[in-house]
């Protein structure tokens, strides 16, 4: 039994090292366009893309009007743009996290959310927050694979 436990521990440690940047693909950190911000817009690791959260902001950086559904639509359009720019698409999204200013808007958000994933629904977590940047109603972040690595 002790030998089995040691083997499991060694496999776990070896796996963690392979994903810590020492043996796996190097991470590429892509800054968001515009003024300097304290985060990356996307981090590329091998064929994976890890996107920063997206608010429902338009090209000027202002929240769109219209409430949770309009902000959800714009947030997903922003995600779609980041994905396409980095060799991926909405069809390649595998996981999303939805942060809502009010969990009572969950159903209204879902009405828009599902229209962006006609072929499959990614795994997802959703939770309510105690306020979002700029007074937003929703922030969405996603992880996706990519078909192009350049």
> Does the residue 120 lie in any domain?
yes
Write out the two tokens for 102: 């009010």
**111: containing domain:** 26-145
What pLDDT is stored for residue 149 in this prediction?
61
22 forms bridges with which residues in the sheet? none
Task: Look at residue 31 and tell me if it is in a domain.
Answer: yes
**What is the structure's pLDDT at 71?**
98
Cα separation, 96 vs 81, whole angstroms: 16
Taking 50 as the pLDDT cut, the residues of the chain under it are 1-21
Say if 138 falls within a structural domain.
Answer: yes
* Number of domains composing the chain: 1
pLDDT at 35: 65
CATH at 89: 3.30.1330.40
**Is 2 inside any structural domain?**
no
Please give the Cα distance from 40 to 92 (Å, whole number): 20
The pTM of the full predicted model, rounded to 2 decimals, is 0.80
Residues 6+ apart with CB under 8 A from 66: none
pLDDT of residue 147: 79
On whether residue 61 sits in a domain, the answer given is: yes
In a domain, 13, yes or no: no
Q: Is residue 124 in some structural domain?
A: yes
pLDDT of res. 29? 85
122 in a structural domain = yes
* Spatial contact of 47 and 149, defined as CB atoms under 8 Å apart: yes
């Amino acid at each position: 039994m002790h030998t089995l436990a040691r083997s499991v521990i060694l496999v776990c440690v070896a796996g963690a090292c392979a994903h810590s940047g020492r043996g796996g693909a190097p991470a590429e950190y892509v800054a968001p366009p515009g003024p300097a911000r304290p985060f990356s817009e996307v981090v590329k690791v091998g064929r994976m893309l890890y996107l920063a959260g997206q608010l429902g902001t338009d090209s000027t950086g202002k929240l769109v009007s219209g409430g949770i559904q309009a902000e959800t639509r714009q947030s997903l359009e922003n995600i779609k743009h980041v994905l396409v720019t980095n060799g991926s698409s909405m069809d390649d999204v595998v996981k999303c996290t939805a942060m809502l200013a009010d969990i009572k808007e969950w159903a209204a958000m879902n009405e828009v959310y599902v229209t962006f994933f006609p072929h499959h629904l990614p795994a997802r977590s959703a939770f309510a927050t105690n306020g979002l940047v700029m007074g937003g109603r929703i922030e969405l972040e996603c992880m996706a694979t990519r078909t192009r690595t350049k």
